[in-house]
C-alpha cells in the first residue's frame, strides 16, 4: 500500500505503516553514515550533547557526490545499512528510531526497532540522481571535516521508500 | 586528442550513462518482472536513469574507485610507466571535473584519511598481441564490491561446485549490492589471479553454457530487484577461465550493482 509520512513524525503516524508499504516521505531528514554513527554512539556513551534532537526525527544513511552549480546536492542515494548495525540499537533507544537505508539488518536492530516502535525504510539502491531531484535544501549540521560523510539536514519532497521493518518489529517477507 | 583528455572524458561520461547492453537488460527486466515490489524497484531505477540523463547528475553517489585493466600491445612501444601516468592524470581530472565523490582513503585500517582526489586508481597491467593499448575501466562502487569474494574449491568440485559457490556468494550478498546485479566470474590461476579475472570478465561475452547455468541458479534465489523479491536478481554473468594447479579450483566473483558503470578506450600505435 502507498502511504505518506511527514517528517518530523508524530508517533501515531508510524503505527499505520506496515512492511511492504511504499512510503512517500516529505519534510526534514537528517543524514549520517559510518563515521557519524560512531561519533553519535561515542557521544551517548560519554554523556556528551548530541548535535541534533533525536525525538521525532529520522536519519538517512547517505553520503552525496559533490553538487554541481545549480544543484542542492549531487547524487544522493542510500548506502548499505548493515554497517551501521553495531550502533543502531543504542541510538534507537535514545530516540533515533526511524531509519532510511538499504538492505537487510541484523537481529539486534530488528529488536531495537520493535522495542522503540520505530521504522526501517529502504530507499532504492543506486538511485542517486532520482533522490537528489527530491531534495529541496541541504545544510551541514555537524562534522564538516568528514567531507561526504558529514551530518546533514535535508528538506525533502515526495521521497519514495519501502517499509522493511514496522513499528511492531514485523519484517518484510519477499 | 591528448590521451589524458580522452580518458577524462570517458570517465566523466561513464558515471552518467550505462553501457547500452546494461541499459537494455534493465529495461527488459522492468518489462518482464512480475513481483510487485521488484517492479517498484525497477521503476525507480528506470526513473533514475532518466533523471541522470536529464540533469547530468551521476547515476549513483558512489561514483566508485577507479579500476583499470591496461592491456599493452607488445609491438606498441608504449611503456607501463607512460600508461600509468596517463591513467592517473586522466582519472584525476575526471574526479574533479566530473563531480566524482571523493571515496578513497589512504590508510585503510587506522586514520582512514580521505585522499581528496579519488586517487590512486587500481591498475592491472597485461601484455597483448599487436600494437594497440587498450584501457578497460570499472567504476567500482563498494556496496557491491563488499559482496565480492573468492572461494578455493576442491579440484574435483566441477561445474556443480562452481555454480553452487557463485550462487552462495550472491545468496549471502542478498539485497546489499543493489540488485539486479552483474556478475563477473574468474576461474583458475591462483587466488589473486582468479580475482583479477573476475573483473576482466565484465569485458568479455556472457553467453557460454557455464555463465548461463550460473545466471539461472542465481535468479532461482528469488532475491529480486533491491532484494525485495522477484525474478531478476542478476542480469548477466560473464566467465573467464585460465589454467590452474592440480590441487585447486579457485573461483572468484566480482559483483557489480545494476549501475554497471565502465569505460573502454583503444589507443592505436602512436596515439599514446
- Judged by a CB distance cut-off of 8 A, whether residue A116 touches chain B is no
Q: Which residues of chain B are within 8 Å of residue A102 when distances are taken between CB atoms?
A: 143, 175-176, 178, 226
pLDDT bracket for residue B27 (50, 70, 90): very high
- pLDDT for A22: 98
pLDDT digits (tens, 9 = 90+) for A58-99: 999 999 999 999 999 999 999 999 999 999 999 999 999 999
- pLDDT for B205: 82
pLDDT digits (tens, 9 = 90+) for A152-162: 999 999 999 99
**Nearest C-alpha of chain B: how many angstroms from A165?**
13
How buried is B10 (Cβ within 10 angstroms: 0-12 exposed, 13-18 middle, 19+ buried)?
middle
Closest CA to B257 of B144, B145, B172, B167: B144
Q: Domain check: are B5 and B95 in the same one?
A: yes
Q: Domain check: are B208 and B233 in the same one?
A: yes
Here the CATH number for the domain that contains residue B1 is: 3.30.360
- pLDDT for A147: 87
Section A114-120 average pLDDT: 98
Number of folded domains that form chain B: 2
φ, ψ of residue A151 to 5 degrees: the values are: -80, 120
Any idea how long chain A is? 174
φ, ψ of residue B189 to 5 degrees: the values are: 65, -145
Section B250-260 average pLDDT: 98
Section B123-151 average pLDDT: 98
SS (H, E, C) chain A: CEEEEEECCCHHHHHCCCCCCEEEEEEEEEECCHHHHHHHHHHHHCCCCCCCCCCCCEEECCCCCCCCCCCCCCCCCCCEHHHHCCCHHHHHHCCCCEEEEECCCCHHHHHHHHHHCCEEEEECCCCHHHHHCCEEEEEEEECHHHHHHCEEEEEEEEEEEEEEECCCCCECCC
Q: Which residues of chain B are within 8 Å of residue A80 when distances are taken between CB atoms?
A: 143, 146, 176
For chain A, how far is it from start to end, CA to CA, in angstroms? 15
- Judged by a CB distance cut-off of 8 A, whether residue B22 touches chain A is no
Residue of B nearest to A78 (CA): B61
Closest CA to B176 of A125, A60, A166, A76: A125
pLDDT digits (tens, 9 = 90+) for A134-149: 999 999 999 999 988 9
CA–CA separation, B15 and B57 (whole Å): 9
**Percent of chain B having pLDDT more than 70?**
100
Q: Domain check: are B99 and B6 in the same one?
A: yes
Of A103, A133, A172, the CB nearest to B174: A103
Of A74, A80, A133, the CB nearest to B99: A74
Section A112-132 average pLDDT: 98
- pLDDT for A73: 96
pLDDT bracket for residue B207 (50, 70, 90): confident
Q: Domain check: are B64 and B155 in the same one?
A: no
Q: Domain check: are B90 and B125 in the same one?
A: yes
Q: Domain check: are B39 and B154 in the same one?
A: yes
User: What residue segments make up the domains of chain A, in order of their start?
Assistant: 2-165
**Percent of chain A having pLDDT more than 90?**
98
Q: Domain check: are B103 and B152 in the same one?
A: no
Residues 139-198 of B with CB under 8 A from A: 141, 143, 146, 174-176, 178
Q: What is the pTM of this model?
A: 0.95
Query: Best mutation site among B23, B38, B57 for testing chain A: the one with the most A CBs within 10 Å?
Result: B57
In this structure, how many other beta carbons lie within 10 angstroms of the beta carbon of residue B194?
A: 26
Residue of A nearest to B60 (CA): A128
Of A66, A103, A130, the CB nearest to B51: A130
Section A35-56 average pLDDT: 97
Residue of A nearest to B145 (CA): A80
- pLDDT for B9: 98
What is the average pLDDT value for chain B, to the nearest integer? 97
Contact B175 A66 (CB under 8 A): no
pLDDT digits (tens, 9 = 90+) for B170-186: 999 999 999 999 999 99
A vs B: CB pairs below 8 A: 142
Contact B175 A147 (CB under 8 A): no
Section A91-115 average pLDDT: 97
Q: Domain check: are B44 and B162 in the same one?
A: yes
Domain A2-165 in CATH 3.20.130.10? The answer is: yes
Interface pTM, i.e. ipTM:
0.94
Section B86-99 average pLDDT: 98
Structural domain of B9: 1-16+58-140+261-272
- pLDDT for B230: 98
Q: Domain check: are B229 and B147 in the same one?
A: yes
With 80 as the cut, is the pLDDT of residue B206 above it? no
The Cα angle at residue B253 between residues B175 and B171, in degrees rounded to 5: 35
Of A102, A103, A129, the CB nearest to B48: A129
Amino acid at each position: 500500500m502507498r502511504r505518506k509520512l511527514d517528517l518530523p513524525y508524530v508517533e501515531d503516524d508510524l503505527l499505520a505503516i506496515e512492511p511492504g508499504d511504499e512510503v512517500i516521505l516529505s519534510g526534514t531528514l537528517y543524514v549520517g553514515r559510518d563515521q557519524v554513527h560512531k561519533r553519535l554512539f561515542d557521544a551517548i556513551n560519554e554523556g556528551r550533547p548530541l548535535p541534533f534532537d533525536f525525538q521525532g526525527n529520522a536519519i538517512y544513511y547517505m553520503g552525496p557526490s559533490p553538487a554541481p552549480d545549480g544543484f542542492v546536492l549531487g547524487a544522493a542515494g542510500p548506502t548499505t545499512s548493515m554497517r551501521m548495525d553495531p550502533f543502531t540499537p543504542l541510538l534507537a533507544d535514545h530516540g533515533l528510531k526511524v531509519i532510511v537505508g538499504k538492505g537487510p539488518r541484523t537481529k539486534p536492530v530488528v529488536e531495537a526497532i520493535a522495542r522503540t516502535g520505530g521504522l526501517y525504510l529502504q530507499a532504492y539502491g543506486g538511485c542517486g540522481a532520482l533522490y537528489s531531484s527530491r531534495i529541496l535544501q541541504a545544510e551541514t549540521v555537524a562534522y564538516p571535516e568528514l567531507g561526504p560523510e558529514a551530518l546533514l539536514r535535508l528538506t525533502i519532497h515526495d521521497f519514495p521508500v519501502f517499509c522493511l521493518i514496522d513499528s511492531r518489529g514485523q519484517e518484510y517477507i519477499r | 586528442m591528448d590521451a589524458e583528455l580522452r580518458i577524462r572524458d570517458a570517465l566523466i561520461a561513464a558515471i552518467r550513462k550505462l553501457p547500452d547492453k546494461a541499459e537494455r537488460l534493465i529495461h527488459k527486466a522492468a518489462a518482464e518482472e512480475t513481483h510487485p515490489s521488484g517492479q517498484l524497484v525497477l521503476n525507480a531505477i528506470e526513473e533514475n536513469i532518466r533523471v541522470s540523463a536529464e540533469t547530468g547528475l551521476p547515476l549513483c553517489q558512489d561514483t566508485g574507485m577507479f579500476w583499470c585493466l591496461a592491456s599493452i600491445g607488445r609491438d606498441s612501444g608504449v611503456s607501463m610507466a607512460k600508461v600509468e601516468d596517463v591513467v592517473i592524470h586522466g582519472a584525476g581530472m575526471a574526479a574533479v571535473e566530473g563531480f566524482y565523490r571523493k571515496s578513497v582513503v589512504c590508510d585503510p585500517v587506522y586514520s582512514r584519511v580521505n585522499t581528496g582526489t579519488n586517487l590512486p586508481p587500481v591498475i592491472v597491467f597485461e601484455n597483448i598481441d599487436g600494437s594497440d593499448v587498450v584501457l578497460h575501466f570499472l567504476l567500482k562502487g563498494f556496496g557491491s564490491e563488499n559482496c565480492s569474494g573468492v572461494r578455493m574449491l576442491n579440484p574435483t568440485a566441477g561445474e556443480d561446485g562452481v555454480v553452487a559457490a557463485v550462487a552462495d556468494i550472491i545468496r549471502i550478498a542478498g539485497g546489499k549490492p543493489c540488485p539486479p546485479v552483474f556478475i563477473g566470474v574468474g576461474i583458475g590461476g591462483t587466488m589473486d589471479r582468479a580475482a583479477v579475472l573476475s573483473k576482466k570478465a565484465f569485458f568479455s561475452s556472457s553467453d557460454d553454457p557455464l555463465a548461463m547455468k550460473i545466471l539461472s541458479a542465481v535468479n532461482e534465489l528469488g532475491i529480486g530487484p533491491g532484494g525485495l523479491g522477484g525474478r531478476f536478481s542478476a542480469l548477466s554473468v560473464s566467465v573467464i577461465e585460465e589454467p590452474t594447479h592440480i590441487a585447486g579450483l579457485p573461483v572468484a566473483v566480482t559483483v557489480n550493482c545494476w549501475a554497471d558503470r565502465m569505460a573502454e578506450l583503444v589507443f592505436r600505435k602512436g596515439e599514446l
